[in-house]
Amino acid sequence: MNNLALILYNRLPKTATDDELDVLEQVNIVSKSLKGLGFRVKKGQVDLNLQKTLDVIKKLNPCFIFNLVESINSRGEFVFFPAALYQYLEIPFTGSPLVPLFFAANKVRAKTEMKRLGIPTPGWIELDKPEKINPGKKYILKPIWEEGSVGLDEHCVFNGDDAGSIESIRKMDKEFYFIEEFIEGREFNISIIAGPNGPEVLPFAEMTFIDFPEGKPKIMGYTAKWKEQSFEYLNTRRTFEIANFDEKAMNQMAIICKKCWNEMGLKGYVRLDFRIDLQGKPYVIDINANPCLSGSGGFMAACEKSGMKIREIVQRIVEHALGHPINSTEI
């Protein structure tokens, strides 16, 4: 009877930043829950030596892999390598498969795919087409491959007539950055978890910006997410008490969540970030496949709000990966 679960996560550099260190908390949470569910647990770190990872998986022969790899060598563009390995070895693994992981990891690819599927996402411009910038619009410069708002703060928001910003953007690498239309308006994080009857959309969380001075961009940048003493961190809050509830926009977002999950092949657990413009139209700004499972993250907060305990969350994710309820075959 094979009851071994293998948790794989990214090897951290000595200089790991706050957003990278967060994976260790996720490993602990998942490990405890898996043990509580009756599994034996082993943990392994993934780096660019994928042969080593392949050898470890073959040797241990787990019944599934809990995939917590968020990047490799601190690079988001390698995030789908481990999924390719697991699929090659035909070992079940949690979260999204290779192809949706690739799409979700690359924001420009994700937007191209969303556009093709008719999922609303803000307009965008690649860096080799600066002539497309409209002087009357506001934009945000975003990293293509990063998550956790790495490299993203208020200096990234600029007006289309700001020659200085455009000049410095011209010198940046088009493989790593792109320009997106800035959506002035409310921000929502919506989590989705696999359930017995398909994807379950969890309670909506709004990100609120408190006492932001006039003109200061309202964004969940790196400072707001990770720098605990900063104005941005202290003055941004997640709330499930939605004021001035716009029923039409809320319904549209729920439909978009399911469409994204189904048509992009997402699995297990996902969080979508939305902005709603001043006319009430929702846009997907970010697809987070395998979102952070630490206690402070939006996904866990939404699960808790819906009444789920950590062990149940992990159980659902594992059962979706295995394709059947956890039973005596595994434990």
Ligand X SMILES: Nc1ncnc2c1ncn2[C@@H]1O[C@H](COP(=O)(O)OP(=O)(O)O)[C@@H](O)[C@H]1O
- Could you list the residues that contact ligand X (CB under 6 A)? 122, 140, 142, 146-149, 152, 180-183, 187, 219-221, 273, 275, 285-286
Q: Which does 57 bind (CB under 5 to 8 A by kind): ligand X, Mg ion, none?
A: none
CA distance 124 to 173: 16
- Please report how close the Cβ of residue 225 comes to Mg ion at its closest, in angstroms: 9
Beta carbon of residue 214, minimum distance to ligand X (angstroms, whole number): 17
- The kind and range of the H/E element at 99 are helix 98-105
Find which of ligand X, Mg ion, none residue 79 binds, CB within 5 to 8 Å per kind.
Answer: none
Radius of gyration for the alpha carbons in the chain, expressed in angstroms and rounded: 20
Are the beta carbons of 291 and 299 closer than 8 angstroms? yes
284/321 with CB nearer ligand X: 284
Which is nearer to ligand X, 35 or 132 (by Cβ)?
A: 132
Q: Across the beta sheet with 138-143, what order do the strands follow?
A: 124-126, 177-181, 138-143, 157-159
Residue nearest to Mg ion (CB): 286
Please state the closest distance from residue 131 (CB atom) to Mg ion, in A.
Answer: 28
- Choose the one of ligand X, Mg ion, none that binds residue 187, judging by a C-beta under 5 to 8 angstroms depending on kind: ligand X
Q: What is the DSSP string of 179-208?
A: EEE---SEEEEEEEEEETTEEEEPPPEEEE
86 binds, among Mg ion, ligand X, none (CB under 5 to 8 A by kind): none
Query: Could you give the CA distance from residue 305 to residue 12 in angstroms, rounded to a whole number?
Result: 31
- Of 53 and 71, which CB lies nearer to ligand X in the complex structure? 71
Nearest to ligand X of 221, 282 (CB atom): 221
Binding site for Mg ion (CB under 5 A): 273, 286
Nearest Cα residue to 322 out of 92, 115, 111: 92
Would you say 219 or 314 has its CB closer to ligand X?
219
* Closest CB to ligand X among residues 25, 153: 153
Least spacing, CB of residue 197 vs Mg ion, in Å: 27
CB atoms < 10 A from the CB of 290, how many?
A: 27
Select 286 or 330, whichever has its Cβ closest to Mg ion.
286
CA distance linking residue 127 with residue 118, whole number of Å? 24
Nearest distance from C-beta of residue 181 to ligand X, angstroms: 6
> What is the smallest separation between the CB atom of 142 and ligand X, expressed in angstroms?
6
Region of 310 (left: φ > 0; alpha: ψ -120 to 50; beta: rest) is: alpha
d(CA 261, CA 163): 39
Q: In the bound complex, what is the minimum distance in angstroms from residue 273's beta carbon to ligand X?
A: 4
